[in-house]
Chains A and B, each alone.
Chain A
Amino acid sequence: MARRQAGWIALFLLPTVALFLAIYAVPLGITLFTSLFDYRLFPRRMDFVGFGNYVSLFTQDTQFHRALLNNLAWILLHTTVHIAIGAILALALYKKPRGWKAVRVIYMVPSIISNAAVAMIFANIYNPAYGVLNSFLRGMGLAELQRNWLYDPATSFLSVTMIWTLFSGYNTTLILSQALSLDDSVIEAAKVDGASRLQQDFLIVLPLVKPMIATTMIMAATYMLQMFDLIYLTTRGGPGVTTTNLPLLLYKTAMTENNYGYANTIGVVIILLGVVFMTLINRVLRTREG
């Protein structure tokens, strides 16, 4: 029986293994390997530089420093503020107040449409000539506050941040699903003990949905580590490097400067950061469950 199966098993595994090799394993190998080279295609060059790319990145490259800092700041904001906004809505919805289903669906809409569309919408909202933000300020008699929100170095970082921070629909959906699956008796018992609604929400329900919050935080961190489209389509990382993060810097280094070895060194940094964040959030939030 087992012997006859061997061929089938190999056949069943083959497509997935091939896919893994082509799109994950080989590119990962190329990334790690070429990060040790001054590697370009036009003109073709492949000179071994050891850890030279890494040394340049961390000691000299101020663009990289800013991109790393932006990336870390965005990950921090996304795993805290963004998740909190969604978690609070989940706490407001789990007792099924009137209209809870409608709000859950409506709040998901910005998360379901493509990031490219969201970016285009916000590029228009922030547009200095006809954007709704400046029009609103003019209407309120606050014309002096008008700006070119995305291209003014003083506001570009915050303006880009707002494009993704408020829309926490995925997190609400995930946390709400766990809150709804909780045993009613736990909350009823707390009520009998005289716990107020706020106490029930934050002392009873919130700790019970912590595993799902940990999951959403990991997803938020890896999502923001790889954020590309929303920035590329609004500011291209500018003005200057005020809204550049690591994927944007990688893209620019590889696609416009054709400096592949250096670009892939940035890739290695992104991969390492991913591993660090996953283990960190897992340690902090999951092991305490006991």
Chain B
Amino acid sequence: MTDNTSGRRQDSGPKDRRPFYAKLPAYLYMLVCALVALFPILWVIMSSFKTNAQILTSAITLPTQISFEGYSMALQVSPILRYFFNSVAIALISTFLNVFLVSMAAYAFARTRFRLKGLLFSILAMAMVIPVTALMQPVYQVITALGLSDSLPGLILVYMALNMPLTLLIMRATFEGVPRSLEEAAYIDGAGFMHTYLKVMLPVAKGGLASAAVLAFLNAWNEFTFALVLTKSADVRTLPLSLSYFTSQFSFNYTALFAAITMAVLPSILVFAVFQEQVSQSLVVGAVKG
């Protein structure tokens, strides 16, 4: 967002010097993709400012006047803020615990020697290829047996696990890329195992930690299936799960329905607009390492 693209374009990358008409198909395709991506969301945002009657009679036209009534009605009917904070809490806590705890294992795999290391790593990496959705019933059983069904800690535990394989692979590769001399210097200075890990290794692994955290956060923030299977009560409902109740909650109050969807979507879009470089980079790291 902050870098100077026009300045950069001059000196890097192959430049397209063909006349404009030759580039037209590419520009058209870009335009269509942008419109396809934006139209559904813009339509919802636009409709959230209309009255019910306008929505029913003229779905495509712009609202005649901007009304925020839909937003106040939506907030009265559905405690969206509550669901929003549930989602924030679950995503932040599960991300922090996932990255903190799994990085420790990744470090052990990257830098220490112990018996059956290769075998243990292959077994853990197997989690990468298991389609977890296929395990929804027994995961429900395990969470219930742990006494965590229908609770925020239950969801946090599952989200930590869902992101475990990717964090493990990203962080192992990150630690493997750190020069050994750094650690050796720390040991020579008399630092212990824990101290070396926390004070020497973690700070230089910031890039990997950020990528793993971004991916874990996005996955937890958007997760729906396990939220549906593992929770019942409204107090532990996450934002994505609350969306499934909108249609019945807002029956025939379309303005409020569109306002509620807008409120559920806008935070993600705003955060993405600010951090898009970091998000894109994390996706690439995740795809390459994973």
Interface residues of A, Cβ cutoff 8 Å to B: 2, 4-6, 8-9, 11-13, 15-17, 19-20, 22-24, 26-28, 30-31, 34, 85, 88-89, 92-97, 99-110, 112-125, 129-132, 134-136, 139, 166-167, 169-170, 173-174, 177, 180, 184, 187-188, 197, 212, 215-216, 219, 222, 225-226, 228-229, 232-233, 247, 250-251, 254-255, 260, 263-264, 266-268, 270-271, 274-275, 278
| B287 engages A212 (CB within 8 Å) | yes
> A97 CA to B157 CA in the complex, in Å?
45
Would you give the shortest CB distance from B62 to chain A, in whole angstroms?
13
Complex Cα spacing A123 to B257, Å: 12
Residue B119 interfacial (CB < 8 Å): no
Contacts of A120 in B (CB 8 A): 243, 246-247, 261, 264
Residues of B within 8 A of A247 (CB): 133-134, 136, 225
Q: Which of B37, B47, B104, B225 is A228 in contact with, Cβ under 8 Å?
A: B225
Q: Assess whether A12 is in contact with B254, with CB atoms less than 8 Å apart.
A: no
Q: How far is the CB of A261 from chain B (nearest CB, A)?
A: 10
B244 and A233 within 8 A (CB):
yes
Q: Determine if B224 and A229 form an interchain contact, defined as CB atoms under 8 angstroms apart.
A: yes
CB pair B108–A135 under 8 Å, yes or no, is no
Given A107-B37, A117-B243, A132-B43: A226 in contact with B132 (beta carbons within 8 A) = yes
For chain B, the count of residues having a C-beta within 8 Å of the partner chain is 97
Query: Cβ of B13 < 8 Å from any Cβ of A?
Result: yes
A112 engages B229 (CB within 8 Å): no
Q: Which 6 A-B pairs have the closest CB atoms?
A: A23-B161, A135-B59, A27-B138, A116-B240, A16-B105, A30-B138
Q: In the bound complex, how far is the Cα of B130 from the Cα of A32, in angstroms?
A: 13
Query: B residues bordering A, Cβ < 8 Å?
Result: 5, 9, 13-16, 18, 22-23, 26-27, 29-30, 33-34, 36-38, 40-41, 43-44, 47, 55-56, 58-60, 101-102, 104-105, 107-108, 112-114, 120, 123-124, 126-127, 129-139, 141-142, 146, 157-158, 160-162, 164, 168, 193-194, 197, 218, 221-222, 224-225, 228-229, 239-241, 243-244, 246-247, 254, 257-258, 261, 264-265, 268-269, 272-273, 276, 279-280, 283-284, 287-288
Interface residue from B40, B60, B283 paired with A173 (Cβ < 8 Å): B283
Within the assembled complex, what's the spacing in Å between the Cα atoms of A290 and B28? Answer: 37
Closest chain A residue to B55, Cβ basis = A130
| A275→B37 CA distance, assembly (Å) | 32
- Chain A residue with the shortest CB-CB distance to B57: A130
User: Do A187 and B131 have beta carbons less than 8 Å apart?
Assistant: no
Contact B276 A267 (CB under 8 A): no
Contact B134 A222 (CB under 8 A): no
Enumerate chain A residues within 8 angstroms of B218, measured Cβ to Cβ. Answer: 112
**Contacts across chains A and B counted by CB atoms under 8 Å:** 290
Query: Binding site of B, secondary structure by majority: helix, strand, loop or mixed?
Result: helix
Contact between A6 and B114, CB atoms less than 8 A apart: yes
A254 x B14 contact (CB < 8 A): no
A103 touches B30 (CB 8 A): yes
Q: Which residues of A contact B56 (CB under 8 A)?
A: 129-130
Contact B40 A20 (CB under 8 A): no
Residues of chain B within 8 A (CB-CB) of A123 are: 247
Residues of A within 8 A of B36 (CB): 166-167
Q: A188's closest neighbor in chain B, by CB?
A: B14
Tell me if B105 and A173 are in contact (CB < 8 A). Answer: no
Minimum distance in angstroms from B46 CB to a CB of chain A: 10
Q: Nearest-CB distance from B185 to chain A (Å)? A: 15
Given known A17-B105, A22-B161, A254-B136, contact A116–B131 (CB-CB < 8 A): no
Partner among A135, A174, A184, A251 whose Cβ is within 8 Å of the Cβ of B58: A135
Q: In the bound complex, how far is the Cα of B134 from the Cα of A94, in angstroms?
A: 38
